[in-house]
Amino acid sequence: MKDYSDLISPILVKEFRQGIRSKLFTFTFLLSQFVMVLIVITGLALDGMNQKDFNILFWIIVILPIMFLLPLSGINSISEEVKLKTIDLIYLTHLGSFRILLGKMLSICFQILLLLSAVLPYVIVRYYIGNVNLYEDLVFLVNAFLIATLVTSLSIFLSTVKLNPILKWILLLFILYSVIGSISVLSFGPASRSGMGFMSVGFIIYIYLFWALTITLILEFGAKLIAPEIENHSTSIRLIGIAFVLIAFSSTIFLSSKSEKEFIFATTMVIIGLISFVSCCEKMKTSPLVYLPFVRYKRSGRLLGKLLYPGWITGIIYTVFLTASFITICLSTGLMPMDIFDDLSAPIVISFISTAVYAPIVLKVFGDRIKRVITFSFLVHLISAIPFYFFSIGHGMGKSWSSTAAQVCAFFPNSYFLCNLTPFNKINTVFQIVGFAVSLGFIAFFLKDIIFSYYKMKAIEFKAIQILKEKNAQSLNEVS
Amino acid sequence: MSNAIEIENLVCRFGDFEAVRDLSFSIEKGQVLGFIGANGAGKTTTMRCMATLDTATEGTIKVCGHNVIHEPSLVRKLIGWMPDDYGTYSNMNVFEYLDFFARAYGYKGNDRKERVAEVMDFTDLTSLAERLTDKLSKGMSQRLCLGRTLLHDPEIMILDEPAAGLDPKARLDFKRLVRILAEEGKTLFISSHILNELEEMCDNLLFIDEGKLIHHGTSDSLKQLNKKGVAMNIEILGDPENLKNWVEHNQNMSMISLERDGAKVLFENEEKEFLAAQLTNMIRDGLKVSSFKRDEYGLEESFVNMLTSREDQNEGL
């Protein structure tokens, strides 16, 4: 094909043109065709028992390029553009960071679809050989494609992360682990969990909704990492968080199965936790342009901005708002998703929120010396999660251990909440006082910083209002 | 005439490092301006800020009256940015490369095809349309990159080291293209290390050092400002060391460099009578002078003089 429609995104056209000529795609395509022919011919010659083994081999050969080889080809796509400095050239056009990532992802997805469509005749031929459930196979192929798109979005996200290769590989392992987890969910379904039974149509629709939102979220995370100062992805990420909560809320109306609802709420909780964490670690944007879309709507816009402006200060307000909304929904619908955990659920949530809030505090202490904010935040998060682990281990071992664990935890600020929200709060007063003092110190430091940053944010907001006024005056002049 | 670019008190900081310090200048529309500075002087940072790719810490940049911070989308339509690295893609031919950027700039249908054809024609790339971009020579890549910069027909073109690493023919080709663009009335902002070439192409020159503006004007004004006498190429028969000794024993002159058959000598007075007297003295003192001619005082010497005197001033402080 020489020319492509103007309706297709330019970056998709570019990536597709490059992708289908790449050695990886050509090699994968030809090799999979060769192996398919070989397997089908060999399958014809075998009896029923061995055919089953060959079925497994058949699907491994299908899945390997679709779920791993092609999706992971995107792992260097953005870092290459940055290295070649071509990313700057693209920024100067009409394309933004999100569209760049989306185009790259869709291009790989189209390559996967091409490969899948080439494999489809062999799937159907196997049906005529016998011992094959065509419906199950097709469902599996659809699910495999959906998971492949998820892996692709993750690999595109990884390409935006400035990490050393070891950390990138650790993240890659995490991706593979997620894939295996997703396969188990999609293949065996929630049916295998807590007697959920078959998945309802409504639940499947929710799964697809979550799939689409998760991919958008992953790409927004990636876009946020590479975007120029004037682009704002924080607001989109926070809106996605709100969308997750709303979808979870709607599931209480449209779904009847409690276990399905629990699954949706548990997933939502993990995702909004991640979004809150990222929001709380954000550096404040100094460009008034980012504030312009909000100040345009005057007071209501500015009020909404306090929740959605980029920066850690609004991130904290957002975290509190989102968590409160989520808990309210859980309580009002009579559904406590924490039921799937044990009685430590409340401390888990509170510890999670409080540790999420620590990252910006520590970031503020170290100031501009930290170059890799996200990596550092993860580290802080891990360290501050220690009391939770101490406490949960101690709690699991009995009351006396629980008390000792609480003493150790007392040094950590979040343990103040932890120890007081559980029945096992008989901790040593000295330890508690020390813990409380540390908490107060943190809070005092934090408050000072909050006030300073709040006024800094107001100053940028004011600048944005001035720009808007100038623009309005200019357009009025032009009209007159 | 209105200004194409106006920069006021530009400051760019990266952590503790200040790449650009309080830089202010303006360029009239239709001018060709050469932007000169040593490595690390802050040229690329300034240009990236002008192109909306970096954000200035302080100060304002206006492109055709539009603030780059407040109206980046508008500014991007007005400027064409050609970086020092050409940045081509693998598995993509010349037509596809330009077609991608034409699409990205919002061209559609026949307009897009026509625009790509026009640009390929202007940059002599039509015959290379099917050639893969990573298989192009440096000169061809540079023309391709210039073509990409021209796709959206920008009023102002910012070219960072466009002639670096090119062979003489490619340089001549490039100069020809720049001349045509200047005749079309485009404002060109070119940074380069090849100063004599800039002198030929540019109406004005802008020198920066350590992020500060040190000169803005024509090449002649710079030469006059930094001229400290006249350089003469002298050739003698015999050992050039004799000439060196003679120069060292005389006043109002100094050695620039010792050559194979003589030396380049700087005389502090450029009056003809003074030079004739020195030639007579040389012959009288036994030097067999075979050639005595004035050396052209180039832009490069002026630039080096300017930097040296700045360093001397700084040391004096």
More confident residue, B237 or A365: B237
Q: In A, which residues are within 8 Å of B83 by CB distance? A: 85, 88-89
Per-residue pLDDT, A188: 44
pLDDT digits (tens, 9 = 90+) for A231-285: 899 999 999 999 999 999 998 888 888 778 878 887 887 788 788 878 877 878 7
Per-residue pLDDT, A190: 41
Q: Are B101 and B88 in contact (CB under 8 A)?
A: no
As beta bridge partners, residue A390 has: none
Q: Smallest CA–CA separation between B233 and chain A, in Å?
A: 45
- Lowest model confidence (mean pLDDT) among A19-28, A190-199, B89-98, B157-166: A190-199
Percent residues over pLDDT 90 in chain B: 29
The mean pLDDT value for A367-379 works out to 55
User: Above 80 in pLDDT, residue A113?
Assistant: yes
Q: Is A84 on the interface with B (CB under 8 A)?
A: yes
More confident residue, A220 or B218: A220
The mean pLDDT value for A121-139 works out to 78
Whether B52 and A92 lie within 8 Å, measured CB to CB: yes
Fold of the domain built from segment(s) B3-88+136-224: Rossmann fold (3.40.50)
- Average pLDDT across chain B, whole number: 85
Per-residue pLDDT, A194: 42
Facing residue for A93 by CB, picked from B85, B99, B104: B104
How far, CA to CA in Å, does A4 sit from each of A10, A91, A348, B237, B306?
9, 22, 52, 74, 55
So where are chain B's domains? 3-88+136-224, 228-296
Closest alpha carbon to A190 in A208, A204, A211, A209: A204
Per-residue pLDDT, B93: 92
Q: In A, which residues are within 8 Å of B90 by CB distance? A: 18
End-to-end, the C-alpha distance of chain A in Å comes to 51
Largest separation between any pair of C-alpha atoms in chain B: 81
Confidence of residue A191 (pLDDT cuts 50, 70, 90): very low
Compute the distance between CA of residue A389 and CA of residue B83 in angstroms, rounded to an integer.
52
Size of interface A-B (CB pairs under 8 A): 84
How far, CA to CA in Å, does A9 sit from each of A33, A66, B73, B117?
30, 23, 19, 21
The mean pLDDT value for B187-216 works out to 84
Per-residue pLDDT, A107: 94
pLDDT digits (tens, 9 = 90+) for A389-402: 566 566 666 656 55
Amino acid identity of A147?
A: I
Closest alpha carbon to B249 in B261, B265, B237: B265
Compute the distance between CA of residue A280 and CA of residue A190 in angstroms, rounded to an integer.
33
Per-residue pLDDT, A438: 62
Q: How far is CA B150 from the centre of its chain?
A: 20
User: Above 80 in pLDDT, residue A121?
Assistant: yes
Per-residue pLDDT, B9: 92
The mean pLDDT value for B289-307 works out to 76
Per-residue pLDDT, B63: 92
Whether A287 and B55 lie within 8 Å, measured CB to CB: yes
User: Above 60 in pLDDT, residue A458?
Assistant: yes
- Average pLDDT across chain A, whole number: 76
Confidence of residue A98 (pLDDT cuts 50, 70, 90): very high
Q: Is A472 on the interface with B (CB under 8 A)?
A: no
- Give just the sign of the alpha carbon dihedral B61, B66, B70, B76: negative
Per-residue pLDDT, A105: 95
- Lowest model confidence (mean pLDDT) among A166-180, A421-435, B150-164, B282-296: A421-435
Where b means 16+ CB within 10 Å and e means fewer, A183-203 reads bebbeebbeeeeebeebbeeb
Whether B55 and A288 lie within 8 Å, measured CB to CB: no
Pairing of strands B156-160, B187-191: parallel
Whether A21 and B91 lie within 8 Å, measured CB to CB: yes
Whether A17 and B53 lie within 8 Å, measured CB to CB: no
Q: Is B228 on the interface with A (CB under 8 A)?
A: no
Confidence of residue A49 (pLDDT cuts 50, 70, 90): low
Per-residue pLDDT, A473: 85
Q: In B, which residues are within 8 Å of A14 by CB distance? A: 89, 92, 96, 100
Q: Is B274 on the interface with A (CB under 8 A)?
A: no
Interface test with A, best of B69, B84, B114, B157 (most A CBs within 10 A): B69
Per-residue pLDDT, A234: 93
Interface test with B, best of A92, A287, A472 (most B CBs within 10 A): A92
Model-level ipTM above the cut of 0.85: no
The mean pLDDT value for B221-237 works out to 76
